[in-house]
Amino acid sequence: MSSGEERHVPVMLRRCLDLLEPALTRPGAVVVDCTLGLGGHSQALLEAHPQARLIGLDRDPDALKLAGERLAPYGDRVTLVHAVYDELPDVLRRLGVPGADGILFDLGVSSMQLDEAGRGFAYAQDAPLDMRMDQSTGISAAEVLNTYAPGELVRILRAYGEEKQAKRIVEAVVRERAREPFTHSARLVELIRAALPQAVKRTGGNPAKRTFQALRIEVNGELRALERAIPAAVSSLALHGRIAVLSYHSLEDRLVKQVLAAGAASTAPPGLPVVPERYQPRLRLLTRGSELPSEEEIETNRRAAPARLRGAERVREEAQP
């Protein structure tokens, strides 16, 4: 297994550092990497802010091990925790941290998970249909395919994969699983190719991409966790703390946009001549819409292509009841 440093190119690294930088200059600043992965963003944050302390979360024990090796030179400035990102408030409470000065999310599947064939995330190579980010818990993608009702599979492919051909694919899956349960990715890719009309297969890259995305999101409960995680992260920010979120598909980006936009809006009833403090926005948006990677970055790191970056600053404390 190659080192994390060799295998991981952090997406939109410079811009993430720029967004978080003003919040991390104070002594003793705490920055949380909610999606540690192989530690590329975390290492850059530690290098850029020698006085800062980093807390790194990841649900994948393999990622924690590799990132731990990479970040070992930073000693007690680093605390790594096996946790899903929606557990952030509990993690901070256990560590005695009242609020984070910087919070980073780099959503989606990590380079390591894509590159390790045995994990079953990549449709380009045959592997067991697992897709669990934490292989010690939960159900695999094979179990989803083999046991979910047809209507539920159609819902998942449409909602999480935005797959217009969901019904056609699921009909083929149900026929095939009755003959023999699914175990490996190559068979599923072959089935999807056979099920889709020629016109569909000519556009949009690998035709299995959306189905694999949908299965991964379902297996890991990603959107359900994200729905809890982004509001929790905003509430965990210290005053003038900053959050940066990298998303990789429209479902994630839409959810992040909604939470940040709501935080940046006044909650005052219409018609008030003066807006009381408790109704003032608690966030200030740092990005105009979602920012995209440069063409140069996409040329050198193709996994950056779908990235969308949003950021916000905490400008008001929680209103007291």
Which whole number is the average pLDDT over 109-117? 55
Identify the CA nearest to 87 among candidates 232, 222, 223, 247: 232
Instruction: Extract the tokens encoding 318.
Output: 């929680």
Tell whether residue 58 is among the known ligand binding residues.
yes
Q: Where are the domains of the chain?
A: 4-112+222-314, 118-220
CATH tag, 4-112+222-314: 3.40.50.150
Q: How far apart are CA 120 and CA 294, in angstroms?
A: 30
Half-sphere exposure of 90 (CA within 13 A, CB side): 10
CATH topology of domain 118-220: DNA polymerase; domain 1 (1.10.150)
Q: What is the pLDDT of residues 65-107, one digit of tens each?
A: 999 999 999 999 999 999 999 999 999 999 999 999 999 999 9
Torsion angle of the four alpha carbons 245, 248, 251, 252, in this order, in degrees rounded to the nearest 10: -20
State the burial class of residue 56 (Cβ atoms within 10 Å of its Cβ: 0-12, 13-18, 19+): buried
3-state secondary structure of 62: helix
Q: What is the pLDDT of residues 145-194, one digit of tens each?
A: 999 999 999 999 999 999 999 999 999 999 999 999 999 999 999 999 99
Who has greater pLDDT, 115 or 308? 308
Identify the CA nearest to 211 among candidates 166, 270, 155: 166
Tell whether residue 113 is among the known ligand binding residues.
yes
pTM for this model (two decimals): 0.86
Tell whether residue 60 is among the known ligand binding residues.
no
The residues near 135 (Cβ < 8 Å, ≥ 6 apart) are: 119
Measure CA 172 to chain center: 30
Same topology, domains 4-112+222-314 and 118-220? Answer is: no
Tell whether residue 40 is among the known ligand binding residues.
yes
Tell whether residue 74 is among the known ligand binding residues.
no
Has residue 123 got a pLDDT over 80?
Answer: no
Amino acid letter, 59: R
The residue assigned the tokens 């991981």 is: 8
Q: What are phi and psi of 115, to 5 degrees?
A: -80, -25
Which whole number is the average pLDDT over 249-276? 90
Tell whether residue 39 is among the known ligand binding residues.
yes
Amino acid letter, 81: V
3-state secondary structure of 307: coil
End-to-end distance of the chain based on CA atoms, in angstroms? 52
Q: How far apart are CA 103 and CA 233, in angstroms?
A: 7
Has residue 2 got a pLDDT over 50?
Answer: no
Tell whether residue 41 is among the known ligand binding residues.
yes
What pLDDT is recorded for position 111? 53
Which whole number is the average pLDDT over 47-58? 97
Instruction: Supply the mean pLDDT for the chain.
Output: 90
Q: What is the pLDDT of residues 190-241, one digit of tens each?
A: 999 999 888 776 666 788 889 999 999 999 988 999 999 999 999 999 999 9
Which whole number is the average pLDDT over 36-40? 93
